[in-house]
Amino acid sequence: MTEFLTVAFYKFVELPDFADLRAPLLAHCEAQGVKGIILLAAEGINSTIAGPEAGIRAVLAYLKQDQRLMDLQHKEAWSAKSPFYRMKVRLKREIVTLGVPGISPTLMAGTYVKPQDWNALISDPDVVVVDTRNDYEVGIGTFKGALDPQIKSFAKLPDWVASTPALNPATGKKPKVAMFCTGGIRCEKSTALLRAQGFDEVFHLEGGILKYLETVPEAQSLWQGQCFVFDERVSVGHGLVPGHHGLCRACRMPLNDDDLASPLFEAGVSCPKCHATTLETQKNSARERQRQWEFAKARDQDHIGAKLPLPLPINATVPSSLPPIAS
């Protein structure tokens, strides 16, 4: 059976010529049989791609020919089937959207804390621990004692930072802050945001939640629940063992056992979280797409199909955190 290698990587680095990089990079990926998505912006690169091992290695080598990307780090996982149908290279204003001009993770990011040192940091009562992920991610798991901003998208984080009392005490003294996310990319930008606002002691978890779950023994862990991931596993636990959550193919939300048993759940069409937000015409379109997908699956064929006209999480287009690792 053919195995596919999936890799996730990102790097904040100045790429003023990012638009010129798109066409040759896309051509190289396609020539190597690699599929997935790569985001390019003036601030760097963010990607999840999959394909035959030789093709993936060739793309990584191609990228590292650029002196600015020589030290590009990636996380990888194997699967029997590629999780992507197409190869896309997109030009963006930001590789992870925060929407605050002048924030430069390459110059202003906080201090990395290794997974083995994370428990001591977040156990300090003087440290404000912040989960920078979206509400649906936090909803299935987070670190003990962490604040949940309850945001729908990463771009809402700056408003929460400006208004939450924990980060704006009456004394006016900026607290020590520890921030974390799935794979690290959002933390680099969120810690840069805080440093730009005068926070001197800002820390973030190196390698994100996934590296913590991979390296810290469960008996010593302060993690509670599961970690949402943007791939077919949906969620993982300690040791990166796949969790028990399902996924709504319509709204891309993680589903627990109660959600899957709900009469509002219909595979490929709706779940309790999105049933009331879509029109019947949309549900019918989704039913037809699901029928075609099942038809193709029965014949061991790929069905690409059209995108559903349904709302998706803002960062569902690019897995921010991928396999055994990577937002």
d(CA 286, CA 309): 9
181 is catalytic: yes
- Regarding beta strands 35-41 and 87-91, do their DSSP bridges make them parallel or antiparallel, or are they unpaired? parallel
Phi/psi for 143 (5° steps) reads -80, 145
The structure tokens listed for 228 are: 């949402």
Write down the catalytic residue from 181, 251, 271, 274: 181
The one-letter code for the residue type at 219 is A
**CA angle, residues 233, 92, 229, in degrees to nearest 5:** 10
Q: With b meaning 16 or more CB within 10 Å and e meaning fewer, what string describes 232-271?
A: ebbbbbbebeebebbbbbbbbbbbeeebeeeeebbbbbbb
The candidate with the shortest Cα–Cα distance to 114, out of 259, 22, 214, 260, is: 214
The structure tokens listed for 269 are: 């069409």
Q: Residue 324, exposed/middle/buried by CB under 10 A (0-12, 13-18, 19+)?
A: middle
Active site residues: 181
